[in-house]
């Protein structure tokens, strides 16, 4: 079947980058960023609080982690629910013991269904994460529908938690062509959907600037333990390997680096897994600067203004 010619006709089709969202900028050419206390590596932990409907529509595509078997897929539904009932509390106790702060990308459905869970988060940061894991953003979505989806999701988190909530990570990192504009319209300062860098960068929208944050999908418990089927000890080793390499790179360049770690309570909150995470974090915390996404964005932005970046 031949490709529809319309796929090759779009605004700004040209040699090189076919958009003006950001300036081409290899990392070694940018001004260095220095973290507080002279830390070489910033540790940014994101814990995703998600609701997967038992009867998903799955249109126009299924998001990662959704139901697998025909309705009612109670095996996978209840495992996801385990994360919000048990796994997240285990993580919160671990963070309290290690005096860690994390970002919590949270579906609005979780806030509505379990408002007490948001209160349990205490001083951790809430991040917009869409309505639920059956409402992706996509090309062809009506603008009014997407605008309402984003506005409702953020309003729910803000109302339930009392936090300003100025960060966003789309469900499954899904976007339409206009998602960034709608995020700025709704008071979002940074987002983590574009994973093409190790450091933050300015992202242009018609409604003003966003900061694109390096919320990598690579160092993710779901991807490594569930999709790749690596052992828990291997996941811990990968966290430590990434930290060691970034620390060496920071020492060589004189600029700070970011270790972005993505967690899902239904995965890493299991009793046989959380110990591996604990051991890795105890080691990393010996030298890393622990930070939330919003604070990391603000520190980076302040240094860009000073350097003229």
Q: What CA–CA distance (Å, rounded) separates 224 from 234?
A: 9
Average per-residue pLDDT in the chain?
96
pLDDT digits (tens, 9 = 90+) for 9-43: 888 888 778 889 998 889 999 999 999 999 999 99
pLDDT digits (tens, 9 = 90+) for 103-128: 999 999 999 999 999 999 999 999 99
DSSP H helices, 7-87, are: 74-82
Q: What CA–CA distance (Å, rounded) separates 265 from 274?
A: 10
Q: Pseudo-torsion of CA 81, 87, 88, 92, nearest 10°?
A: 170
Exposed, middle or buried, 285 (CB in 10 Å: 0-12/13-18/19+)?
middle
**By percentage, how much of the chain surpasses pLDDT 70?**
98
When pLDDT is averaged across residues 224-240 and rounded to a whole number, the result is: 99
Residues forming beta bridges with residue 41, ordered by sequence position: 257
Q: What CA–CA distance (Å, rounded) separates 64 from 149?
A: 19
Q: What CA–CA distance (Å, rounded) separates 170 from 59?
A: 16
Q: What CA–CA distance (Å, rounded) separates 256 from 38?
A: 8
Tokens at 143, concatenated: 């603008």
pLDDT at 306 over 80: no
Q: Is 26 left (phi over 0), alpha (psi -120 to 50) or beta?
A: beta
| pLDDT value, residue 308 | 55
| pLDDT value, residue 100 | 98
pLDDT digits (tens, 9 = 90+) for 130-154: 999 999 999 999 999 999 999 999 9
When pLDDT is averaged across residues 188-199 and rounded to a whole number, the result is: 98
| pLDDT value, residue 309 | 58
What percent of the residues of the chain are helix, what percent strand, and what percent coil, each to the nearest 5?
45, 15, 45
Tokens at 273, concatenated: 């897994």
Q: What CA–CA distance (Å, rounded) separates 28 from 192?
A: 21
DSSP string of 201-259? EEEEETTEEEEE----SSSBHIIIIIIS---HHHHHHHHHHHHHHHHHHHHHHSS-EEE
| Count of residues making up the chain | 309
Q: What CA–CA distance (Å, rounded) separates 43 from 258?
A: 6
CATH superfamily name and code, 32-307: Glycoside hydrolase/deacetylase (3.20.20.370)
DSSP string of 97-146? HHT---EEEE-HHHHHH-HHHHHHTTTSEEEE--S-TT----TT--HHHH
Domain ranges of the chain: 32-307
């Amino acid at each position: 079947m031949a490709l529809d010619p319309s796929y090759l006709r779009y605004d700004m089709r040209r040699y090189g980058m076919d958009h003006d969202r950001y300036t081409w900028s290899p990392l070694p050419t940018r001004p260095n960023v220095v973290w507080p206390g002279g830390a070489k590596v910033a540790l940014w932990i994101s814990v995703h609080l998600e609701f997967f409907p038992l009867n998903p529509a799955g249109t126009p595509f299924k998001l990662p982690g959704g139901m697998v078997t025909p309705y009612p897929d109670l095996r996978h539904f209840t495992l996801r629910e385990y994360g919000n009932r048990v796994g997240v509390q285990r993580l919160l106790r671990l963070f309290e013991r290690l005096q860690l702060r994390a970002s919590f990308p949270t579906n609005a459905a979780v806030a509505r269904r379990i408002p007490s869970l948001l209160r349990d988060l205490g001083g951790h940061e809430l991040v917009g994460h869409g309505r639920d894991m059956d409402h992706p953003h996509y090309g062809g979505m009506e603008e009014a529908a997407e605008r309402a989806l984003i506005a409702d999701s953020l309003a729910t988190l803000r109302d339930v938690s009392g936090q300003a909530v100025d960060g966003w990570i789309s469900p499954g990192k899904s976007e339409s062509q206009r998602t960034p504009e709608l995020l700025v319209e709704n008071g979002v300062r940074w987002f983590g959907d574009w994973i093409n860098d190790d450091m933050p960068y300015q992202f242009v929208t018609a409604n003003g600037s966003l900061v694109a944050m390096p919320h990598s999908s690579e160092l993710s418990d779901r991807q490594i333990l569930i999709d790749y089927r690596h052992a828990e000890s291997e996941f811990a080793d990968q966290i430590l390997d990434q930290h060691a390499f970034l620390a060496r790179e920071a020492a060589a360049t004189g600029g700070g680096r970011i270790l972005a770690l993505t967690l899902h309570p239904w995965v890493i909150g299991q009793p046989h897994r959380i110990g591996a995470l604990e051991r890795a974090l105890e080691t990393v915390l010996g030298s890393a600067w622990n930070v939330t996404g919003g604070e990391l964005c603000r520190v980076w932005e302040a240094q860009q203004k000073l350097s003229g970046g």
